[in-house]
């Protein structure tokens, strides 16, 4: 009885994914699962907003990031041909969200590549060896965009 009443309380507009078990997720799926606030396998813009607020981002950045990220990744990770008006990000398909200015710290299957992660700091971390300043992060993004022909 409790399980049927819980399913009735779900948002009828929301399609629920088969939940991935955390231990079966790729590192990239685990990374984005933080933003899946209700743990249904889908990340909606309001969940992205909440996740950004949870890590200390301001309201303006959280709004802009949630709209931009969900629009871009929602289209790429959506199964089928037609987009959803709510632009959910499908965690199970997050590997399809790789983009041209990507750092390649996650491979095309969503596995973490530690060597690529270390390369970022060797190449761009000038102020502190284990962190990137805002300018260094900008340099990283510009460098990746140029090296990937965008």
Phi, psi dihedral angles at 45 (to 5 degrees) = -55, -40
Please give the pLDDT value at position 43.
96
Closest CA to 18 of 9, 2, 29: 29
* pLDDT tens sequence for the chain (150 residues): 444 434 333 343 444 455 678 888 888 898 899 999 999 999 999 999 999 999 889 999 999 999 999 999 999 999 987 878 899 999 999 988 876 657 788 787 777 888 988 988 899 989 988 888 888 888 887 887 655 544
Please give the pLDDT value at position 100.
60
Helices (H), the chain: 2-9, 27-33, 45-54, 59-77, 114-124, 134-147
Please give the pLDDT value at position 42.
95
Please give the pLDDT value at position 68.
93
């Amino acid at each position: 009885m409790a399980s049927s009443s819980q399913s009735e309380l779900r948002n009828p507009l929301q399609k629920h994914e088969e939940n991935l078990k955390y231990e079966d997720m790729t590192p990239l799926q685990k990374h984005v699962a933080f933003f899946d606030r209700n743990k249904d396998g889908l990340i909606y813009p309001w969940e992205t907003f909440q996740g950004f607020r949870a890590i200390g981002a301001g309201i303006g950045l959280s709004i802009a990031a949630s709209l931009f990220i969900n629009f871009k990744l929602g289209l790429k990770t959506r199964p089928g041909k037609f987009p959803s008006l709510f632009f959910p990000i499908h965690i199970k398909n997050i590997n399809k969200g790789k983009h041209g200015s990507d750092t390649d710290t996650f491979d095309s299957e969503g596995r973490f590549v530690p060597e690529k992660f270390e390369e970022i700091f060797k190449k761009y971390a000038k102020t502190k060896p284990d962190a990137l300043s805002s300018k260094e992060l900008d340099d990283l993004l510009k460098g990746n965009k140029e090296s990937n022909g965008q």
